[in-house]
Structure 1
Amino acid sequence: MMKRVHRPLAEAVLQNLILIFNENQKADQVIQSTLKSNPKWGSRDRRFIAENTYDIIRWWRLLKFSVEINERKFKDEQNFWKMIGGWLTIQGYELPEWEEFKALEAEKVLTNYAADDKSRKVRESIPDWLDELGEKEVPNWDAELAELNQPSEVFIRVNTLKTNLEELKKVLAKEGVEVDEVVDFQNALRLKKRQKIDHLKSYRKGLFEVQDAGSQKIVEYLAPEEGATVIDACAGAGGKSLYLAALMQNSGEIISTDVEKRKLKELNIRAKRNRVDIIKTSVINQDFIDRHSEKADYLLLDVPCSGTGVLKRNPDAKWKLKPSFLEEIVQTQQQILNDYTKLLKSGGVMVYATCSLLKSENEAQIERFLSLSDEFTLEKEERVSPAKTGFDGFYMARLKKK
């Protein structure tokens, strides 16, 4: 029996795509806003809207090939309808006899989709320039690219300041959430199925945070001691700062900084929920660097990057990323390494990290930094490979100041 689609849900997907591609809005924010707009939608409706929006974005180029659209940008709403109809056809839906779908030839769509002579750029649905760069800079690019096109899983981190892994598993089971433990991770759990969890009592009580396993590994890589002074210099909304506090048993001092003040406000809210009181927040600028020079025992630099390691959860990024942005972000990373490392004491430890798979943002940056500074030595470095782990892609390097 073929699956059926309801028009209000298809229209929701349509509006999502228009906002994401024509208005350049971020996919996760658009989808979240859409789902909040109609509280009458049930879990199945919400899943249809979210999953089909993400899947159409993820397979955009392959889908354009399948429905035979050549335009680079869609000015005509009909092209978006054609993409939706093509994807629903591929997914085994019975297309309604709507005006928007009348010109769509289902057999042709399926034939094109199944053709085995497609190039990798079309088959894996990625821009030419990014595929060529990945081939040049990313080890095992074929496997990484295939994994980056899989839907992301949801990982959570146990807040050990309030509970432990075994107790949290029991609490979540009572709340209807099934989880698996993650091999080689002491505080990570994986949801067996994607579902809404930020409304749960256990979440509101601060028993856990949503955090990818790769991201958790970066914090464990720094491995700060209790009572230490840590500066998280690119903290954002503070997921890593909160884990640092848990590893330090809420003992010592964490200074979480970012260039955007609004993100730090979110961190302060999360810290209260997590029962963390050793975090102080500050906007980072030259004055901050001067006042806190050589203050940190540990320094975390989770720097801005291309985000090529997190395309599973942000598939729209591959269509919005430009070579010019990549050139700019590499310069920003170099500037951060040059300026922010002044915050670290002699004998202190720092971790440089990105959520990128590109060598130019990772190993090449550390090689360049070490060639320009004789104050630091590289202790170890590691890539988190999506293809090998199923996690997001990360790079991390642990350095010590002499």
Structure 2
Amino acid sequence: MRLHRNLVFAVIDTLHSIFNEDKYADKEISKTLKRDKRWGSRDRGFIAETTYDIVRWKRLYEEIAEVKPPYSRPNLFRLFTVWATLKGIEIPDWKQFEDTPTRRIKGRFDELSKITKYRESIPDWLDELGNKELGKLWDKEISALNEQAQVVLRTNTHQTTPKKLQQILDEEFIATKTLKDYPEALELYERADVFKTEAFKKGLFEVQDASSQKIAHVMDLKPGMRVIDTCAGAGGKSLHISALLENKGQVIAMDIYGNKLKELKRRAKRAGAHNIETREIDSTKVIKKLHHSADRVLIDAPCSGLGVLRRNPDAKWKLNPEFIEKIKKTQEDILKEYSKMVKPGGKLIYATCSILPSENQDQIQKFLLTPEGENFELEQDEKILAHKSGYDGFYYSVLSNSKQ
């Protein structure tokens, strides 16, 4: 593989924004990819995948390169050199790459790979927390979370079927496979920019990980129900719920961020999901008005996001223990307040994209002991670990309101 100067420089510029200016990797990569219209899909793929790789393995690479943040431009090139050397890519004869110690890089890599926090490229506190909460499973799980995530689509059954969608995507040269136990899912054999396809523009699918697609199915939905998605965000699960309700009944998609709900409205229009209504949570009155009114309430709770590190590797460097403690308090409060919207005989579904028991089953056990939780019974829950499922780490529990 031959390195091209303008592509390497684009990677270095993007890394500078992510590491030194604390910007989000996905947004910065997206911005960089729009910089030069002459770049083809292979060029854009190189920039995106190389940047994500270096973000993912930052701690390991900085240890090998003997550099520390904030990174000067020469230090960013040193990180790039480590990446290229370990990939077996020939280092070009540019002044930025003078005196590359190829042999020493490989030696240091072998040495550091024996230590989990370097091998898996994670902060000390995260390694300690993972060991404390997951014990023997932690090594396998963090290793799985460092792999590149597959691209999984969710067929929009308002518009088409998985079989038809597969044929349509085939015509656009995108090969997919169906997934057992995930009725609407199609997984791409090779990464591709699916957002440019006609199928996407027509609203035939959404990009949604297989683990996330499980949630709407465990809600035991029937057309005509009133369902409240309390932390809807841009609405991936709301759209899935709408499809399973066959556009009958009502989906109330709520969030504290109005801009996310605007995006949901756009997506719902494209999908042909007509039974979704958005409501911004700008006061406690919004919740009170809906007390004891819903057949199903979904709390897709804010969380550490540790289960989705494969697609957000920069979260490893943005997270800290204080944030996790704070978010756990938020989860407790949300469970107590939002559960009041479940009507007698209805169900509450709590979900996170975290792998930590303290954000998941521990929160549910705690909730069931509160006055707000005393009428609920745990029907089922599932801890979805990436190293077992092959998809994102996730958790869900289904609680029924037994009060008549």
TM-score normalised by the shorter chain: which range applies? over 0.9
Aligned to 1:282: 279
Counterparts of 1:229-268 in structure 2, within 5 Å, are 229-268=226-265
Corresponding residue for 1:148? 145
Question: Within 5 Å, which residues of 2 pair with 1:288-299?
Answer: 288-299=286-297
Distance in 1, Cα, partners of 2:380 & 2:231: 21
Report whether the alignment pairs 1:360 with 2:355: no
Measure how far apart 1:61 and its partner are.
1.2
**Of residues 210, 215, 220 in structure 1, which corresponds to 2:212?**
215
Number of residue pairs aligned between Structure 1 and Structure 2:
398
Partner-residue secondary structure (3-state), 1:31: helix
Per the alignment, do residues 134 and 204 of structure 1 end up closer, same or farther by CA in structure 2, a change over 3 Å counting?
same
Q: Return the offset for 1:65.
A: 2.2
Distance 1:330 1:60 in 2: 27
1:138 aligns with 2:142: no
Report what 2:191 is aligned to: 194
Matched residue type, 2:399: L
Unmatched runs of 5 consecutive residues or more in structure 1: none
Q: Of the candidates 79, 91, 98, which is equivalent to residue 95 of structure 1? A: 91
Q: For 1:132-159, what per-residue CA distance to the aligned partner results, in whole angstroms no more than 9, with x for missing partners? A: 1001112611111110110011000011
8 A contact 1:233–1:299 mirrored in 2: yes
Secondary structure of 2:277's match?
strand
Partner of 2:183: helix, strand, or coil?
coil
Separation of aligned partners in 2, 1:123 and 1:88: 17
302-311 or 160-169, which deviates more: 160-169
Match of 2:392 in 1: 392
Q: CA 1:122/1:75 → structure 2, altered by over 3 Å: closer, same or farther?
A: closer
Q: 2:300 aligns to what?
A: 302
Q: Distance in 2 between matches of 1:116 and 1:335?
A: 42
Q: What's the secondary structure of 1:21's corresponding residue?
A: helix
Asked if 1:10 is matched to 2:20, the reply is no
CA contact (8 A) 1:74 1:80 kept: no
CA distance in 2: counterparts of 1:68 and 1:223, whole angstroms: 54
- Residue 162 (structure 1) aligned to one of 130, 141, 159: 159
Normalised by the length of structure 2, the TM-score is 0.97
Higher mean alpha-carbon deviation, 228-237 vs 92-101, is at 92-101
1:315 to 310, 313, 333: 313
In the TM superposition, what whole-angstrom CA distance separates every residue of 1:88-123 from its partner, at most 9, and x where no partner exists?
Answer: 111111111222211431111111112376311111
State the shift of 1:175 in Å: 0.7
What's the offset of the Cα at 1:207? 0.8
Deviation for aligned residue 1:221: 1.3
After superposition, give the CA deviation of every residue in 1:266-320 in whole Å (9 maximum; x if it has no partner): 1111111111110000111301011111111100000100000000000000111
- Percent identity reads 45
Aligned AA for 2:81? Answer: G
The list of structure 1 runs, each at least 4 consecutive aligned residues, that deviate by more than 4 angstroms after superposition, is none
C-alpha separation in 2, matches of 1:320 and 1:212: 22
Instruction: Tell me the SS of whatever aligns to 1:146.
Output: helix
Q: 63, 66, 85: which is aligned to 1:65?
A: 63
Question: What is the correspondence of 1:316-395 to structure 2 with a 5 Å cutoff?
Answer: 316-372=314-370, 373-395=373-395
Distance 2:110 2:6 in 1: 29
1:282, 1:342 → 2: CA distance?
Answer: 17
Q: Distance in 1 between matches of 2:22 and 2:219?
A: 36
Q: How far has the Cα of 1:39 moved from its partner?
A: 1.5
1:154 touches 1:194 (CA, 8 Å); kept in 2?
Answer: yes
- TM-score, with length taken from structure 1: 0.97
Q: Secondary structure at the match of 1:93?
A: coil
Give the distance between the partners of 2:22 and 2:64, measured in 1 at CA: 24
- Structure 1 Cα separation of the partners of residues 113 and 263 of structure 2: 48
Show structure 2 runs of 5+ residues with no match: none
Residue 75 of structure 1: how far off its partner (Å): 4.0
Write the deviation string for residues 323-354 of structure 1: whole angstroms up to 9, x where unpaired: 11011100110110011111111111011000
Q: What is the CA–CA distance in structure 2 between the aligned matches of 1:93 and 1:369, rounded to whole Å?
A: 53
